[in-house]
Amino acid sequence: MSLTELRSFHAVARMGSFSKAAQDLLRSQPTITIQVAQLEKRYRTELFQRRRGQKLEITDFGKQLFEITRRLFALEADALDLLENSEDLQSGHIKIGASFPNLPTKYILPFREKYPNIEVSLMLGNSSDVLRDLRDCKVDIGFLGGNGDYRGCNALHLAELEIVMIAHKNHSCVQSGFIYAKDLCDETLLLREQGSETRELLLNKLNAEGFLPGTTIEISSREGVCAAAAAGLGLGIIALDEIIDGYDLGVVRIKGFQIFGQAHAISLKERGYTKLISAFLGMVEGVKRQ
């Protein structure tokens, strides 16, 4: 297998076209096309579907290969960074994924103050998205707020996060501050999408206790949950630290229930040697001890 051919495939898959891949790699488009075709011919497989007049599409097999090359070339970049210019951390780019913004932002500021020449990106998604992006090397460090399975990762415990409900401040449950689990069958629950650990923690707890919620509305962001709860659409499920200011909301707890998620900063064990990742996690540990 030619690494050059593999790099050409990776560029086409990443950029979505042969011409853009050629520009990215500073090569001619015919060269990129030939190298990808040679890879397909050698292994008797189709990596892209090429239909005249239609957008280039990667095949299912190509998607599997792309997941591998994404990790391969991320590790290559790590090695280059280690060898060339990361001794004093005067350059570089660290990508952070988080299931909610409050936790990582408290560490980004002191990191930027100590390493002002390091570029920092913060990408938000649900817990499943962040964990997938970490394993695909799209992000370097993930901040998650549940009790997930982090096999193959180093996990630094940060805090316990209480899972609560929110509703408009005039909701009857807000006045007392609680609701009985058996009464949830009469309420509409505002849930994050599947893949959210906040959602899974609550539903698993209710199922274990033999309680079923009534109607549910699925909402794809914590901002949406807060807005929907403030509009009176139901009881939103959210971590206490994630409640967004500016809405007319009150907190509601389930009587006799306590539900907590465990916030972690995680990184891939196979990338633990990189100076950028080590430096950021060192900053996290230092701030945590304060």
Q: DSSP code of 211?
A: -
pLDDT given for residue 85 in this prediction: 56
In a domain? residue 79: no
HSE at residue 15, side-chain half, CA atoms within 13 A, is 17
pLDDT given for residue 126 in this prediction: 83
- Are residues 276 and 151 part of one domain? yes
The 10s digit of each residue's pLDDT in 183-216 is 888 889 999 888 788 888 888 888 888 887 788 9
pLDDT given for residue 147 in this prediction: 63
Question: How confident is residue 249, by pLDDT bands cut at 50, 70 and 90?
Answer: very high
Q: Tally Cβ neighbours within 10 Å of residue 159.
A: 13
Round to whole Å and give the CA distance between 101 and 38.
45
Domain coverage including residue 150: 84-158+263-289
Round to whole Å and give the CA distance between 180 and 119.
48
In a domain? residue 77: no
Q: Tally Cβ neighbours within 10 Å of residue 123.
A: 14
* CATH number, domain with residue 203: 3.40.190.10
From residue 6, alpha-carbon distances to 36, 38, 69 in Å are: 8, 10, 8
Calculate what percentage of the chain has a pLDDT beyond 90. 32
- Are residues 181 and 39 part of one domain? no
With both helix axes pointing from N to C terminus, report the angle between 29-43 and 3-15 in degrees, rounded to the nearest 10. 110
- Are residues 257 and 165 part of one domain? yes
* CATH number, domain with residue 8: 1.10.10.10
- Are residues 232 and 140 part of one domain? no
In a domain? residue 70: no
pLDDT given for residue 82 in this prediction: 65
- Are residues 174 and 214 part of one domain? yes
Structurally, how many domains does the chain consist of?
A: 3
The 10s digit of each residue's pLDDT in 122-131 is 998 888 889 8
pTM of the predicted model over 0.75 = no
The 10s digit of each residue's pLDDT in 164-184 is 999 999 998 998 999 998 888
Max Cα–Cα distance, the chain, nearest Å: 70
Is 251:82 a contact under the CB 8 Å cutoff?
A: no
Q: What 3-state class would DSSP assign to 267?
A: strand
